[in-house]
Amino acid sequence: MTDFSLVTSRLFQLLLVPAMLVAPLLFVLLTARRVESEADRAVARARSLALLLATLGAVAVWLGLLIYSVRVPAPGALTLNSFSWVLFFPLWFLFGIPALRAKNPAWGAPHADGQTPVRTASLVNRSRRSPVQRAHWIGAGAVQLALLAALLLRGLQPFADDVDHSRWLVASLSYGFCLLVTQIAQPFAVRAALHEAEPLDAAGSPELAALYDAFRRTKILGLFWLTGVAVPVSLGGTLVLAAWVDWFSGAAVVGALVGTTLGLAGAWFGVSMSIRRGRIAEVRSRLDARSRTAPAD
């Protein structure tokens, strides 16, 4: 069991996690630059540099957790390292997408052909149209706090030795930090998705507005349930299992398998959202072409 758990976790850490962390940077670097003015080029360079620095920071976090998990063979360390793939989401949505738009306007901000004036799809205030309701936030927060409380309560019980105590302390502090980051980043991510630019065609087609609305709802709910619920809850559950049950190899296997599953789900979600956004851009171009060729009344 121990050999299987170590092989599973190490393969995940050494292959999939770093690949996900550098994927946004590689995607941006491989995207052709479609801006001509020097000012636009400067913006593209600045946003690409910001993505590079953020990627280096994410890789440093992953590498630090990997080194720690090797030096301190604890289930909590293995689990935290496996879950560092979640840094893909801020890298892609907060740094990657703005860099893509700066290099290639077809990704969102101006119109793809540069000829037709564009207005946004938002003619109303979207701040109160989030699919994530207050009950969702309260329910997710209650579960996360319950897991943190269960982890902290382990500290009231005697420990086998100082190493066991150190493992619990590191796991508790790490999970508390994870919840703090989640509670800060999730509302910001939801607001950013709500106010994301949604350029319509020249005629302001309701069809295109409906596509944007469905895309926005899927994206926000997917981010909330994946990064705001599934990741912290599964991470907390694994750490609680490792803290309360004397099952080192089993907890490592659970953490590695759950982390791998969520990592694959996160990769699929990010790619599928990009594909849907590209299809919406194709529909917008088709509608614009139709409106330009339509006879005037």
Alpha helix segments (H runs only) across 92-199: 97-103, 134-153, 162-194
The answer to whether 89 touches 185, Cβ cutoff 8 Å, is no
Distance (Å, rounded) from C-alpha 61 to C-alpha 66? 9
Q: What is the pLDDT of residues 159-175, one digit of tens each?
A: 877 777 877 887 788 78
CA distance 264 to 282: 27
pLDDT at 144 (0 to 100): 92
0.85 surpassed by pTM: no
Residue that has been written with the tokens 């052709």 in this structure: 32
* Residue numbers in the chain where pLDDT is lower than 70: 1-13, 72-82, 106-127, 246-253, 255-256, 292-297
> Would you give the DSSP letter of residue 78?
H
Strand, coil or helix: what is 12?
Answer: helix
Answer yes or no: are the C-beta atoms of 249 and 1 closer than 8 Å: yes
pLDDT of residue 115: 45
Half-sphere exposure of 264 (CA within 13 A, CB side): 6
Cα 153 to its chain centre, rounded Å, is 30
Q: What is the pLDDT of residues 101-129, one digit of tens each?
A: 888 876 654 444 444 444 444 455 566 77
